[in-house]
Each structure stands twice: as structure tokens, then as C-alpha cells.
Amino acid sequence: MLPDEDCGIVLRFQESGERFLSLAFFSETQGLYHPLLRPSKKDTRPDLFDTARIKLSKAKQGSLVFASEYSPIRRRSGLSRSYANLTLAARFAEIIRINIQHLPDHQIIFELSSRLFDSLESAPAPKAAYLKTLYLFAKTEGFAVREDWVAGLDRVSRESLAQILRRSLAEQTDDPHLFDSLTLSLENWLSGNADFIIPRNLSA
């Protein structure tokens, strides 16, 4: 049963009819659901990757959920300054949105998502942030990412990954090929071994 009020991250939104926006709203307590919000002049219009508070109500008949009093807690408008960072944020949001039915621990995923979106907005090494988050995400969800994926990497890749995971974002090396190669390998492993759907050629 949905609460009267909830806090979550906007992973996606789209027009629904002439008067509403349909939000893909990810809450650490309720998971992912899709309330309909009627934008008003007094409320701030939702934006991607907002952390926001909304009030909720259900239709008297049917299963529709309506949101009102949209109040941003954390806006991440700085993501729009970098197309590459925005694309990484959108990619991770889609991975969560598409695969959420397989993921029971919403609180951990919510925390990882919040940290990644914050990092992509303001911190260096966006590709390292994405790779580290994807690895932690797989590990905390109980997938054998260390025992299977890492063990299957060649020695140089294992050593590079260990350094990436150990270093802070400020200490990361600038090697796009290395991050792209490891990220693609991990995404392919998640797709082939954890039944994940990984979006391809995603545009923000």
C-alpha cells in the first residue's frame, strides 16, 4: 500500500494525455512506480534525476496513482552541462528501471543511484564512477561478480580493475579505452549471467 507521501528519484518522465506527466519514480521504500502528475504553475516542473517529495492519492476506481505537490529536494541540473555524463546517468537509470523487478533491495540501489548521479554532476572521472557503481551494484545484489566476472578477466585487466576500485575518483587515471573495455565486459556479464537487460546505444 502506497503512503500518503513519498520521496524518490525521477528516472524518467513523459507526457500522458493532455494534462499529465507519467513519472518513473524510484523510492527506496516503495521501489519503482508510475504516478501521474498534473503540472501546476505553483509547483516546480519535474526534471530527470531529481530527488523529490510528492503527495500521493489513488483513483477511486482502478489502479491509477496520482501525485501532487512535487517538491524537489535535490536537483541535478548540472548534469546537462556534459552530454557524456548525462548519457551515463541515463544509462544507469534505464538499467535500474528495466531490471528493477529482479532487485529486492531498493534501499541499497537508491543509495547507489543517488551517489552516482551526484558524482556525475560534480566529481571527476565519470566513467570510473559509472564502472565502480555498476560493480558495487552487482556485488551488493549478491551476483558472483567477483568470483566469476573478475576471475575471468586477464591478469592486466584484473590489476587495472583492482586499482580503479581502490582509488578515489580524484585519483583515477585518464584512460577511456580501459574504462570502456571493462564496462562493456561487465555489462555483457550481467546480461549473460544475471539475466539483465542492458540498453544499447542509449541516448540521453
Task: Quote the percentage of the chain above a pLDDT of 90.
Answer: 68
What is the average pLDDT score of the chain?
Answer: 90
Q: What is the pLDDT of residue 118?
A: 96
Task: Give the integer Cα–Cα distance in Å for 110 and 196.
Answer: 18
CA 109, 154, 166, 104: dihedral to nearest 10 degrees? Answer: 10
Domain ranges of the chain: 5-75, 78-193
3 state SS of 25? strand
Q: Is the pLDDT of residue 204 over 60?
A: no
Contacts of 58 (CB under 8 A, 6+ apart): 2, 64, 65, 66
**What is the dihedral sign for C-alpha 180, 185, 188, 190?**
negative
DSSP 147: I
Q: CATH classification of 5-75, choosing from 3.30.70, 2.40.160, 3.40.50, 2.40.50? A: 2.40.50
> Residue 83: which pLDDT band, with cuts at 50, 70 and 90?
very high
- State CA 19 to chain mean position distance: 27
Which pTM was predicted? 0.90
What would the 3-class secondary structure string for 128-142 be?
HHHHHHHHHHHHHCC
